[in-house]
Amino acid sequence: MDEGYKTLIQMKRESEARQKAKYKTDSKERLKKIATKKVQTTMIGALDSVEKHLGFLWEEDEDGKANDALRETYDIVRQEILDRGNDQIRNLMTEIDQYDIEWLRYQLKLQVKPRNKE
């Protein structure tokens, strides 16, 4: 075989290997981004539910008085929830790093029917 042809084939294989490695890296980063967003949404949603259903406990009443002790307690609980959630996000990212990940894109196969000639 021609030396130039062998070199061209080798370059093509190396290029395909680089593309596949980049695709795997991009797939892993995509999963990390999606997983992070879902955990954050869960934490924020939980805090929103607490505020919606229990917020009246520390809001100002008709006299303009607020229960500062309850508000401080809620702020501590809120911070603990966010800290623990962020810890779990970091743990999840560490776990994902231990895997080879490849996103299986959606594929749609359309059947082509021949036309009837009438």
Give the total number of structural domains in the chain.
1
Is residue 57 included in any domain, yes or no?
Answer: yes
In a domain, 66, yes or no: yes
Cα–Cα dist 87/94, whole Å = 11
The whole-model pTM stands at 0.75
Q: How far is CA 78 from CA 14, 31, 92, in A?
A: 51, 27, 21
Query: pLDDT by residue (tens digit) across 48-74?
Result: 999 999 999 988 887 878 889 999 999
| pLDDT tens track for 65-102 | 888 999 999 999 999 999 999 999 999 999 999 999 99
Residue 85 belongs to a domain? yes
Domain extent, residue 57, equals 40-98
Give counts: helices (H), strands (E), the chain: 2, 0
Closest listed residue to residue 27, CA positions, set 93, 114, 104, 112: 104
